[in-house]
Amino acid sequence: MIRIFQLLVIVLVATFAAILGIGQVCGRYQIHIKVSDSASHLIKNADVKLSPITTDETRGKQFVRDTSDPSTFAVTFTEGDSFLSFHMVTVSAPGFDPAELKVMFVSCQGRTIDVQLQKARSGEKPIWHFENQLTVEAEGPDGKWAEGVTLRITNADTSEVVFDQKMNLGYRSQSLQNGTYLIELKAADGQMLTSTVDLTVLEDRSLKFKF
């Protein structure tokens, strides 16, 4: 019985470590960007630059064009390389308005980003596609993770409900497309908590609620 309990503890610890990224080993990780126009035609003469906004944490790394696919770029970081402040990714191409995206990269978390550039002086905004990880925690009056809490996540732009289930021990980590989301938590006694989260920049976010 003791042996079974020990194994159960090990499995639980390993599961939470994987969720939180603790002890994650990758050696190196990459950020990929694919460039196209508003009609999804690949742009093969674009340029992608990574630059600091305040503090330079790039370690001299820069996006490099893929020789087999000129519309794709990648920058490679070493395990342990993380941004503590926002940096700017700028994508430009002849005949198109440049596009900018604020980013904050985290060690061992590779990213795939798609951007659709708009014709020069069209007045249209570039279209970005990427995912952020949103972590939601619900704490009860006793300071422990709340049980029986239902989490509802709704895209504020499209009104699409992307998640509507009970949380597991007051915790949920959800991958979401870039956008703005309405977060609603409903406790077992009917109490409601709401918040809005902006995921239009590339950054994983954590929200903590207390009932």
Q: What number is the average pLDDT over the span 98-120?
A: 97
pLDDT-derived band at 14 (thresholds 50, 70, 90) equals very low
Q: Let me know how long the chain is.
A: 211
Q: What is the pLDDT at residue 13?
A: 34
Domain ranges for the chain, please list them: 28-129, 131-210
Which of 178, 168, 166, 169 has the alpha carbon at shortest distance from 134?
Answer: 178
CATH topology match: 28-129 vs 131-210: yes
CA-to-CA distance for 29 and 1, rounded, in angstroms? 41
Instruction: Indicate the average pLDDT of the chain.
Output: 90
The reply to whether CATH 2.60.40.10 applies to domain 131-210 is yes
Q: Is the pLDDT at 137 greater than 50, yes or no?
A: yes
Tokens 């949103």 locate to 134
Distances from the Cα of 3 to the Cαs of 7, 8, 9, 68, 97, in angstroms?
6, 9, 10, 53, 63
Summarised one tens digit per residue, pLDDT across range 51-103 is: 999 999 999 999 999 999 999 999 999 999 999 999 999 999 999 999 999 99
CA 17 vs. chain centroid, Å, equals: 18
With cut-offs at 50, 70 and 90, classify the pLDDT of residue 8: very low
Residue with tokens 């064009």, as numbered in its chain? 65
Structure token pair of residue 102: 């604020």
Buried b (16+ CB within 10 A) or exposed e, 134-164: bebbbebeeeeebeebebbbbbeeeeeeebe
CA distances to 53, 66, 177, 178 from 200, rounded to whole Å, are 17, 26, 9, 5
Closest to 50 (Cα-Cα) out of 10, 81, 26 = 81
Domain 28-129 class, CATH top level: mainly beta
